[in-house]
Structure 1
Amino acid sequence: MTKILWNDQIVEKNEVKIGFEDRGYQFGDGIYEVIKIYNGDLFTATEHIDRLYSSADKINLVIPYTKDKLHQMIHELIETNEVQNGQIYLQVTRGDSPRIHNFPNPAVSSVLTAYTKETTRPLAQLESGIKACFVEDVRWLRCDIKSLNLLGNVLAKQEAVTKNCFEAILHRGDTVTEGSSSNMYGIKDGVLYTHPVSNLILNGITRKVLLDCCEEIGLKVVEEAFTKEEALKMDEFIMSSTSAEVMPVISIDGNVIGNGKPGELTRKLQKAFEQKIPTTLNV
């Protein structure tokens, strides 16, 4: 049976006890991260853990472990569960206390949980590309916080699924922001465009890796918002996320992007990204 990290203990799944008044359950009052595992090794773990603590700071949530201790615990969980390729999900809630909207006073201990899951790379979609659709971005205005409040994202993703699409491209008015669980990029005339870092998007860890890849292959990057109309006129279009990596988007709302196939620059970015994937376990 897959074991779970519960606070600072690795336990059996049936040993985890989460209170019915846990603020993550009742308010979505917490934060989370998903970290990819390749060949038994965490990918960009430092960046993910740094972002977890940054999100915690933004909502005045205390994580009762040092970053080094958290790194140690999640590595132990991966080794215990013998995960080679997959992901680890971890979240921290403000804790279990009588239900009231303001923070508990006095404060209660936050609750950490984490679990691993075996997954495979989406190789077929990475090769052929995926379909996406536009969905109005109705989320709150602090999308830079990786919080548990994901109902807006869930509704957008479900709309995409009902339209037989892989992802929803969110937009506020006419301006493209990001995906329901990804960042978005358009390539036009040899330049990559993406929404600048702000409260309207989550600064994805894979986004950072992708922008590093752009520099490596000599692709100019302009962090500037673009419109829905401009998105449809891009030569190439890409989404990125921890699980989707560097994913080509070949059509949006039935409109073919470019020639309907992953473009040359997209392929170069995919190759540059793959070269960063751990091939053996680092010990």
Structure 2
Amino acid sequence: MSRIVYVNGDYLPEEDAKISIFDRGFVMADSVYEVVSVLDGKLIDFDGHLVRLSRSLDALEIGNPLSDDAYLAMFRELVSRNDITDGMIYLQVTRGNPGDRDFAYPPAETPQTVVAFTQSKPGLADSPAARKGWSVVTLPDQRWGRRDIKTTQLLYPSMAKMAAKAKGADDAWLVEDGKVTEGTSNNVYIVKGNKIITRELSHDILHGITRAAVLRLAKEAQMQVEERGFTVEEAQDADEAFVTSASAFVMPVTEIDGAKIGAGTPGKTAARLREIYLDEMRRIAI
């Protein structure tokens, strides 16, 4: 049985899903996306993802074609039709199909394209990697300057991910002007002297929905948080390191460029944050 996907108001078998070759999401990466995790058949931090979707669309002057209630109904329908217990839903909104290729934006009344699909990931929250930790390598950050907009132009992060895998690592941390910005698809953190350190929000990094929740929960748990940039050398000398994302949740990092972090095993701060994050997200999931 094939997946049922969503395309502009229709629920279709994935093999029947089609968009125009002139769609600007295809020819210009003129589109934004969100990924929402599903645990126990419920949506994790859904409202936060919709807020960021709206922010990204506004930043690119793309209209938002659906109401929050319509997105929620569509996500729940996809979960139901695909019998998803644990997994993810990918949503993409493009500027639409102008009927030909042109650098200029099409008229404002051009309908946006909306597509969404599920990915089943049984046991998503019980990842063996969380018990082992990731190894990462560092690479120059060569992305465009508006990383706070969650666009679909992901070629360089894909290249960095593949470069990391070629070196036997799980992911890459990107470095600009001597400071770590973020991972290929995640926000990054170190722990030193019981203080969690992560880069401050700006155009340089994605404003992670999981990041916001984890930092809120850390502060509620009386953990110290400092938002500032840090160097690779500082990270290698840290007591712990970890990343956050919608699909990895809180993932320990145990090695950076071959240097073991702390004892070379997942630390207690990352483990505790993963635990309280998953507990809270399951409690408020919709």
Q: Which amino acid aligns with 2:7?
A: W
2:114 to 101, 112, 115: 112
Distance 1:265 1:74 in 2: 33
What secondary structure, in the 3-state scheme, does the structure 1 residue paired with 2:263 have?
Answer: coil
Question: Is 1:103 aligned to 2:122, yes or no?
Answer: no
User: TM-score normalized by structure 2?
Assistant: 0.95
State the shift of 1:213 in Å.
Answer: 2.2
Of residues 143, 148, 152, the one that matches 1:144 is 148
Q: Percent identity?
A: 34
CA–CA distance in structure 2, aligned partners of residues 173 and 281 of structure 1 = 39
Return the alpha-carbon distance in structure 1 between the equivalents of residues 70 and 34 of structure 2.
16
C-alpha contact 2:45 2:285 (8 A) present in aligned 1: no
Give, in angstroms, the shift of residue 280 of structure 1: 10
Gaps of 5+ in 1: none
* Contact 1:40–1:280 (Cα < 8 Å) also in 2: no
Unaligned runs of 5+ in 2: none
Counterpart position of 2:180: 176
Match of 1:75 in 2: 76
Name the stretch that deviates more: 61-70 or 174-183.
61-70
Backbone CA RMSD of aligned residues: 1.5
Task: Output the TM-score relative to the length of structure 1.
Answer: 0.96
- Counterpart CA distance in 2 for 1:279 and 1:144 is 28
Question: Which of residues 197, 200, 205 in structure 2 aligns to 1:196?
Answer: 200
Counterpart residue type for residue 158 of structure 1:
M
Q: Which residue does 1:153 correspond to in 2? A: 157
| Structure-2 separation of matches of 1:239 and 1:106 | 38
Deviates more, 1:21-30 or 1:118-127: 118-127
The CA distance in 1 between the partners of 2:153 and 2:278, in whole Å, is 31
Which of residues 118, 128, 134 in structure 2 aligns to 1:130? 134
Distance in 1 of aligned mates of 2:59 and 2:185: 20
Q: Deviations over 1:159-207 (max 9, x none)?
A: 1111111111011031111100000001001111100010000011111
Matched, 1:270 2:274: yes
1:235-274 to 2 correspondence within 5 Å? 235-274=239-278
Q: SS at 1:234's partner residue? A: coil
Residue 102 of structure 1, CA deviation: 1.1
- Listed one character per residue, the Cα deviations across residues 113-137 of structure 1 (whole Å, up to 9, x for unaligned) are 0001101325211011110110110
1:6 is matched with 7
Contact 2:45 2:281 in 1 (8 A): no
Number of aligned positions between the proteins: 282
Q: How many angstroms apart in 2 are the aligned matches of 1:205 and 1:105?
A: 32
Q: SS of the counterpart of 2:280?
A: coil
CA distance in 2, matches of 1:185, 1:106: 40
For 1:10, the aligned partner's letter is Y
CA deviation vs aligned residue, 1:43-76 (integer Å, no higher than 9, x gap) = 0011111111110000000122111211111111
Question: How many angstroms does 1:281 deviate by?
Answer: 7.9
The yes-or-no answer on 1:48 pairing with 2:49 is yes
Instruction: Give the CA deviation at 1:106.
Output: 5.8
